[in-house]
């Protein structure tokens, strides 16, 4: 191991996250490798190693002969300081080699507030930040991930982006790069070619021209570049590669358990949820495949806990069968099965109560809005009756904990809706009083509210975000009206959600903002310990950028949007129609009840969704 690193490690928190060497880490012989990829996750090891997408792509890249993909995570503040002091550049965990030794530098980006980490990691790796300053094929920097549907704020820094699911696209890109390297193409030639791989977006081929009022006027497309970039999807999840022999971290990570993805996409169509649209169409894995994958991953990792994950696991058609079979396997082996994101319907209710997680942490609901009217407007199809009924059963069974998640600032929200949250809480409290079988320890209700962030590719992509002052007013209103002092109420800070809104719908001009705030020392924005709002405000001022332009202004439906050339398969006309229905508080049936022709089925060969 690197001598400098050995000196640093005794003095930093949780050093195990900086050395690799875990069980099932992939080590290759450099002599047999002709393409090295540094796969970066712009947050800490504990968060990144919990990311299923990263683990899948790590396996897929390393499955390719001659390719060695290593992991790189963002160092915590103490480590960054020590690395800078000792002159140790950011390195791949497997080999310990600096980023500059790699051919390609890939990022998976799932959260807007990690953008500063992205730039910081390039900086710590001595990689020129701007794509135009990186000449030649070396250190080709690209990114994919859940929030790369609007990658514009990062456009200056990346050579290209991958839109959609990476399982098939990534090997195609790597093969092309390998060919380019062998035949010594220019960077320009490679980018021209890679732009024709479906799902690849090369931002330098698109020039954004702005109007005087700051809005986007035109996107000039370079000759030969695609006019539209449509996301890639995996047609059949059963045949997609799913690694069951994954790295087992040497320290505790955020999701420290085996994880199975039961399906992609969500049938629900909640109007605020970006993933609900961008992950369409709905594609399940078969229960046979899943059971086998479950057994394989549990045996390989030695985990004593497994999760079935997806955007809405209760909507997995075969959940009863799968859950039963999994419990048959897990129970005698003392393995916990956990099912996050269950809905409050009958079957899930029973299942939820059977499972470990409820016993441990209590019930969790995300009604998102306090009144039925607003829940209809956002198409969150959960009713008060369902919530109260589930609570009743749980309270009768001896449980006393309930967690509730809401958003403030949703389109059309009024004070009545805000107060509706307090009323719902009151009804839950009453239910507890009437039905709790075990009243000794009292009823614990936790309420959390988030500040609504309008996201691209949703029916609310044109909406105004309410101002921070208004958000705080609503949050206070709610606090004052909570029915009992015993209710624990937490709210998200306005600052982070405001910045998130700026970056989510941001354009290319935000590149200089990111660079500016990075230079001021900002990074690890997702962490309270490091987030410094003032630095962001200073950076806005320095760059002459008004955050309100991206938040409270809202976007016109006729306006050319920065992400206009990118498509996730869902038609814009559909989003507009959904927005109208929201204003009329009209729900849209879920995809299983009735297909509402959003357009995403066109991505499927055969054109049929499994709604």
Partner 1 sequence: MDRILFEKTGKAVWMSHLDTMRLMQRAFRRAGVLLHHSQGYTPHAYVSMPLPLSVGTESLCEILEYELDSKLPISPEQLNKVMPQGIRVLRVYDSPIKTKYLTMLQAELTLYYDRGVPEGTAERITELFAAPEIKVVKRTKRGPEETDIKPLVYSASLVQKEDRILMDCMVSAQNPPLNPLLLVQAIESLLPQCKPDHATCRRIEVYDDKGNPFR
Site for partner 1 in 530-559 (CB under 8 A): none
Closer residue to partner 1 (CB): 300 or 372: 300
Segment near ligand SF4 (CB under 6 A); pick from 182-190, 394-402, 489-497, 590-598: 590-598
Closer residue to partner 1 (CB): 72 or 609: 72
Among 233, 487, 600, 603, interactor with ligand SF4 by CB under 6 A:
600
Measured distance CA(419)–CA(474) in Å, rounded: 9
Closer residue to partner 1 (CB): 16 or 353: 16
Which is it for strands 444-451 and 67-73: parallel, antiparallel or unpaired?
unpaired
Interaction of residue 585 with ligand SF4, rule CB under 6 A: no
How far, CA to CA in Å, does 76 sit from each of 19, 48, 496?
14, 13, 19
Interaction of residue 359 with partner 1, rule CB under 8 A: yes
Closer residue to ligand SF4 (CB): 548 or 596: 596
Nearest to 349 by CA among 303, 374, 386, 297: 386
**Residues sharing a CB contact under 8 Å with residue 242, sequence separation 6 or more, in sequence order:** 56, 261, 293
Q: Among ligand SF4, partner 1, none, what binds residue 32 when CB lies within 5 to 8 Å by partner kind?
A: none
Site for partner 1 in 16-55 (CB under 8 A): 16, 18-23, 25
Site for partner 1 in 277-336 (CB under 8 A): 298-304, 333-334, 336
- Reduced to 3 states (helix: H, G, I; strand: E, B; else coil), residue 23 is strand
Interaction of residue 252 with partner 1, rule CB under 8 A: yes
CA angle, residues 590, 564, 501, in degrees to nearest 5:
75
Report yes or no: 95 and 9 within 8 Å, Cβ to Cβ.
Answer: no
Q: Among partner 1, ligand SF4, none, what binds residue 281 when CB lies within 5 to 8 Å by partner kind?
A: ligand SF4
Closer residue to ligand SF4 (CB): 456 or 611: 611
Measured distance CA(262)–CA(288) in Å, rounded: 11
Interaction of residue 75 with partner 1, rule CB under 8 A: no
Q: Among partner 1, ligand SF4, none, what binds residue 517 when CB lies within 5 to 8 Å by partner kind?
A: none
Q: Among partner 1, ligand SF4, none, what binds residue 251 when CB lies within 5 to 8 Å by partner kind?
A: partner 1
Beta carbon of residue 576, minimum distance to ligand SF4 (angstroms, whole number): 15
Q: Among ligand SF4, partner 1, none, what binds residue 600 when CB lies within 5 to 8 Å by partner kind?
A: ligand SF4
Closer residue to partner 1 (CB): 10 or 544: 10
Closer residue to ligand SF4 (CB): 264 or 455: 264
Measured distance CA(278)–CA(600) in Å, rounded: 9
Report yes or no: 609 and 595 within 8 Å, Cβ to Cβ.
Answer: yes
For residue 337, the 8-state DSSP code is E
Segment near partner 1 (CB under 8 A); pick from 135-143, 183-191, 356-364, 546-554: 356-364
Beta carbon of residue 436, minimum distance to partner 1 (angstroms, whole number): 19
Q: Among partner 1, ligand SF4, none, what binds residue 598 when CB lies within 5 to 8 Å by partner kind?
A: ligand SF4
Burial 212-234 (b: 16+ CB within 10 A, else e): eeebbeeeeeeeebbeebbbbbb
For residue 531, the 8-state DSSP code is -
Closer residue to partner 1 (CB): 19 or 602: 19
Segment near ligand SF4 (CB under 6 A); pick from 34-42, 247-255, 419-427, 595-603: 595-603
Among 560, 601, 605, 606, interactor with ligand SF4 by CB under 6 A:
601
**Residues sharing a CB contact under 8 Å with residue 516, sequence separation 6 or more, in sequence order:** 539, 542, 543
Beta carbon of residue 506, minimum distance to ligand SF4 (angstroms, whole number): 27
**Residues sharing a CB contact under 8 Å with residue 176, sequence separation 6 or more, in sequence order:** 190, 193, 194, 197
Beta carbon of residue 182, minimum distance to partner 1 (angstroms, whole number): 33
How far, CA to CA in Å, does 380 sit from each of 313, 407, 478, 566, 571?
15, 12, 21, 26, 21
Q: What is the 3 state secondary structure string of 93-125?
A: CCCCCEHHHCCEEEEECCCHHHHHHHHHHHHHC
Q: How far apart are the first and last CA of the chain?
A: 51
Beta carbon of residue 354, minimum distance to partner 1 (angstroms, whole number): 12
Nearest to 424 by CA among 465, 390, 472: 390
Measured distance CA(147)–CA(164) in Å, rounded: 10
Measured distance CA(374)–CA(421) in Å, rounded: 11
Size of the site for partner 1 (CB under 8 A): 32
272-291 footprint of ligand SF4 as x/- string (CB under 6 A)? --------xx----------
Interaction of residue 456 with ligand SF4, rule CB under 6 A: no
Binding site for partner 1 (CB under 8 A): 1, 6-7, 9-10, 14-16, 18-23, 25, 248, 250-252, 298-304, 333-334, 336, 356, 359-360
Binding site for ligand SF4 (CB under 6 A): 280-281, 591, 595-598, 600-601, 609, 611
């Amino acid at each position: 191991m690197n001598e400098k690193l050995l000196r640093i490690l005794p003095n930093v928190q949780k050093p195990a996250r900086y050395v690799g060497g875990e069980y099932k880490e992939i080590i290759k012989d450099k002599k047999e490798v002709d393409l090295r990829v540094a796969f970066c996750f712009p947050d800490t090891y504990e968060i990144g190693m919990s990311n299923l997408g990263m683990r899948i792509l790590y396996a897929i890249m390393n499955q390719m002969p001659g390719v060695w993909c290593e992991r790189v995570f963002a160092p915590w503040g103490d480590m960054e300081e020590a690395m800078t002091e000792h002159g140790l550049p950011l390195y791949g965990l497997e080999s310990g080699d600096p980023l500059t030794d790699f051919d390609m530098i890939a990022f998976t980006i799932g959260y807007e507030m990690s953008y500063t980490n992205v730039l910081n990691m390039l900086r710590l790796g001595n990689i020129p930040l701007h794509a135009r300053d990186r000449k030649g094929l070396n250190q080709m920097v690209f990114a994919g991930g859940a929030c790369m549907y609007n990658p514009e704020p990062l456009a200056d820094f990346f050579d290209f982006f991958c839109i959609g699911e990476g399982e098939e696209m990534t090997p195609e890109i790597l093969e092309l790069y390998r060919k380019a390297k062998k035949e010594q193409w220019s960077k320009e030639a490679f980018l021209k070619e890679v732009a024709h791989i479906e799902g690849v977006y090369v931002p330098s081929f698109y020039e954004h021209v702005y109007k005087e009022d700051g809005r986007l006027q035109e996107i000039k497309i370079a000759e030969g570049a695609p006019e539209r970039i449509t996301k890639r999807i995996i047609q059949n999840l059963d045949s997609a590669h799913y690694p069951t022999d994954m790295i087992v971290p040497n320290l505790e990570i955020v999701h420290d358990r085996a994880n199975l993805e039961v399906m992609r996409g969500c049938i629900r169509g909640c109007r605020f949820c970006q993933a609900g649209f961008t992950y369409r169409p709905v594609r399940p894995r078969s229960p046979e495949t899943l059971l086998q994958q479950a057994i394989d991953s549990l045996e390989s990792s030695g985990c004593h806990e497994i999760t079935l994950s997806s955007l809405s696991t209760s909507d997995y058609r075969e959940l009863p069968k799968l859950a039963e079979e999994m419990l048959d396997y897990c129970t005698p082996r003392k393995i916990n099965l956990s099912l996050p994101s269950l809905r409050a319907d009958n079957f899930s209710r029973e299942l939820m109560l059977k499972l470990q997680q409820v016993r441990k942490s209590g019930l969790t609901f995300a009604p998102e809005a306090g009144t039925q009217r607003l829940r209809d407007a956002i198409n969150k199809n959960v009713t008060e009756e369902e919530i109260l009924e589930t609570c009743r059963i749980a309270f009768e069974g001896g449980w006393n904990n309930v967690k509730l998640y809401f958003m403030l600032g949703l389109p059309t929200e009024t004070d009545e809706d805000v107060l509706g949250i307090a009323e719902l809480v009151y009804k839950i409290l009453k239910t507890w009083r009437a039905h709790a079988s075990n009243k000794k320890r009292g009823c614990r209700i936790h309420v959390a509210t988030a500040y609504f962030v309008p996201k691209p590719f949703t029916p609310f992509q044109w909406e105004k975000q309410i101002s921070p002052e208004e958000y705080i007013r609503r949050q206070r209103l709610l606090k004052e009206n909570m029915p009992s002092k015993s209710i624990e109420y937490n709210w998200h800070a306005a600052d982070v959600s405001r910045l998130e809104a700026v970056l989510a719908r941001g354009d290319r001009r935000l590149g200089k903002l990111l660079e500016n705030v990075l230079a001021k020392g900002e990074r690890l924005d997702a962490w309270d310990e490091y987030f410094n709002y003032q630095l962001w405000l200073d950076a806005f001022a320095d760059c002459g950028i008004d955050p309100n332009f991206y938040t409270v202004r809202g976007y016109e439906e006729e306006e050319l949007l920065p992400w206009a050339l990118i498509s996730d398969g869902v038609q814009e006309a559909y989003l507009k129609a959904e927005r109208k229905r929201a204003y009329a508080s009209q729900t849209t049936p879920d995809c299983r009840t009735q297909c509402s022709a959003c357009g995403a089925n066109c991505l499927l060969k055969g054109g049929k969704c499994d709604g």
